[in-house]
Amino acid sequence: MHNRGMEFRYLGNSGLKISEITYGNWITHGSQVENDVATQCVRAALDAGITTFDTADVYANTAAETVLGDALAGERRESLEIFTKVYWPTGPGGPNDSGLSRKHISESINGSLRRLRTDYVDLYQAHRFDTETPLEETMQAFADVVRAGKALYIGVSEWTADQIRAGSVLASDLGVQLISSQPQYSMLWRVIEGEVVPTCEELGISQIVWSPIAQGVLTGTYLPGQPPPAGSRATDANGANFISRLMRDDILEAVQQLRPVAQEVDLTLAQLAVAWVLQNPNVASALVGASRPEQVEENVKAAGVVLPASTMKQIDDVFGELVVRDPAITALGAPAGRPT
C-alpha cells in the first residue's frame, strides 16, 4: 500500500504526462472560498507534487481562472499542466456567450489565457457537447486554437461514446490530438464503464475523472439519519444541489460499511475512493478540489496505491445495486440546447 509520492500517467495516446491527482478549482474557488485560502490550497497541491491544474471559464463566472492564474504566478510554466474548458455561459450571457461556435471558442480561449496569465493551456476541453453547432465547426475552431499555439491538446467533458468517436475522427483529419474525456466517475457512479471507456481505450483517449469522492459522500462525513455537518459541501448552496441525490440513508449506510475495508489497506475513506478510480487503467487522473490545504495533502496519498482484488470485490459487495451504471445517463444528463 506504500505511497511513493506523486505518480504520473500519460494522457491518452500522447507524450504528455500528468499527475495522478489533478487539482481542480470548480465550486471551491471564487465562491465558497476566499482567494487567500484558494492560494494556500494551490500551494499545498504544488508542495504535494501535483503538477496538473484544471479549471473552466464558467467556474464562478471566470473568477476561478483568475484565482488560479494568480496562485500559480511565479511558478515555472513548463513544470505545470494547466487545463481549462469552454461551453457554459460566461460574461453577461448574450446569445454568443456560450456553446462551441467558432466565435465563442475563439473569444473564450483568449479570455482564459488572459485570466490564467499564460500564453497557452496544455489542454483545452469542450465542457459539454453543443447540439446547436456543427461538430465540424467546433473541431475546426479547436484545431485553429492548437495551431495558434494557444492550446497543446484538446479534450471533452461529459460527451457520449458516439460524440467522442465523431470528434476523434474529425480531430485526426485536422491533425490535432483529442486525448482526454472528463466525466463523473466514482464507486457509486460508473456510467462511463459500459461505453465511454471502451470507446476511449480504442481511440487512445484517457479519462480525467471528476467527483471521485462523490461530492464528499464517500468521505464518510455524512451519517445516515443525521443532518449534514455545518460548513460541509451539503450545506453550501452551490454544493447542495449536486449532493442531494446521494444523501440517502441506504447510500450513507453503505459508505459506513466501507470503514473496515479502508482501514485494512491503511487509507481513509476519501483516499480509498480516489485510489479506486485510479485502478481503472483508462483513468489518467482523479480531479480533487479542496476548501482547506490539509484536504489536498490527504487526497494525494491515494496516488500510487495499488488496491488488492479482494478490496475491489469488497467495495462492489458493499454497494451492490446502489451503483449507477446505465450508460444512457450521459446523454440524458446533457443539455438539450445551448444554455443561455
3-class secondary structure per residue, the chain: CCCCCCCEEECCCCCCEEECEEEECCCCECCCECHHHHHHHHHHHHHCCCCEEECCCCCCCCHHHHHHHHHHCCCCHHHCEEEEEECCCCCCCCCCCCCCCHHHHHHHHHHHHHHHCCCCEEEEEECCCCCCCCHHHHHHHHHHHHHCCCEEEEEECCCCHHHHHHHHHHHHHHCCCEEEECCECCCCECCCCCCHHHHHHHHCCEEEEECCCHHHHHHCCCCCCCCCCCCCHHHCHHHHHHHHHHCCHHHHHHHHHCHHHHHHCCCCHHHHHHHHHHCCCCEEEEEECCCCHHHHHHHHCCCCCCCCHHHHHHHHHHHHHHCECCCCHHHHCCCCCCCC
**How many angstroms separate the CA atoms of 332 and 197, rounded?**
18
Between CA 225 and CA 59 the distance in angstroms is 32
| pLDDT value of residue 30 | 52
In the predicted model, what is the mean pLDDT of residues 199-212? 98
Output the average pLDDT for the chain.
Answer: 93
Do the domain assignments include residue 270?
no
- 248 located within any domain: no
Q: Given pLDDT bands bounded at 50, 70 and 90, which one contains residue 245?
A: confident
- Name the domain count of the chain: 1
Q: Is the pLDDT of residue 3 over 80?
A: no
Average confidence (pLDDT) over 175-202 = 98
**For range 2-30, the mean pLDDT:** 83
Which is the catalytic residue, given 59, 87, 124, 222? 59
Is residue 173 included in any domain, yes or no? yes
Residue 43: C-alpha distances to residues 40, 47, 72, 118, 130 (Å): 5, 6, 8, 18, 35
Report the C-alpha gap between 96 and 94 in whole angstroms.
6
For residues 180 and 12, the answer to whether their CB atoms sit within 8 Å is yes
Task: Locate 138 and state its grid cell.
Answer: 467546433
Q: Which residue has the cell 445495486?
A: 321
Asked which of 22-36, 76-90, 125-139, 160-174 is least confident by mean pLDDT, the reply is 22-36
Domain that holds residue 47: 8-216+280-305+325-332
Say what the pTM is: 0.94
Q: Indicate whether 249 belongs to any domain.
A: no
Catalytic residue status for 23: no
Percent of the chain at pLDDT > 90 equals 82
Tell me the average pLDDT across 271-276.
Answer: 98
Using the predicted structure, report yes or no on whether residue 232 has a pLDDT greater than 80: no
Provide mean pLDDT across the span 56-79.
92
Specify the pLDDT at position 242: 57
Whether 158 is covered by a domain: the verdict is: yes
Is residue 224 included in any domain, yes or no? no
Amino acid 2: pLDDT: 38
Sequence-separated (6 or more) residues with CB below 8 Å from residue 284: 9, 10, 11, 12, 18, 20, 180, 206, 207, 208
The DSSP bridge partners found for residue 318 are none
- What are 281-319's pLDDT values in tens digits? 999 999 999 889 999 999 999 999 999 999 999 999 999
CATH code: domain of residue 30: 3.20.20.100
Residues 162-184 have a mean pLDDT of 98
The answer, yes or no, to whether residue 127 has pLDDT greater than 60, is yes
Lowest-confidence pick of 5-9, 34-38, 134-138, 201-205: 34-38
Once rounded to an integer, what is the mean pLDDT over residues 117-144?
A: 98
Residue 267 lies inside a defined structural domain of this protein: no
36: confidence class by pLDDT, cuts 50, 70, 90: confident
Share of the chain above pLDDT 70, in %: 94
Residue 59 has pLDDT above 70, yes or no: yes
pLDDT at residue 339, rounded to an integer:
85
Residue 126 pairs in a beta bridge with: 86, 156
Average pLDDT over residues 213-232: 89
313 found inside a domain: no
Residue pointed to by grid coordinates 466517475: 185
Q: Which residues pair with 86 in a beta bridge?
A: 126
Q: pLDDT value at position 37?
A: 87
- Return the ∠ at Cα 89 (arms to 86 and 94), rounded to 5°: 125
> What is the total residue count of the chain?
340
Q: Which residue has the higher pLDDT, 5 or 283?
A: 283
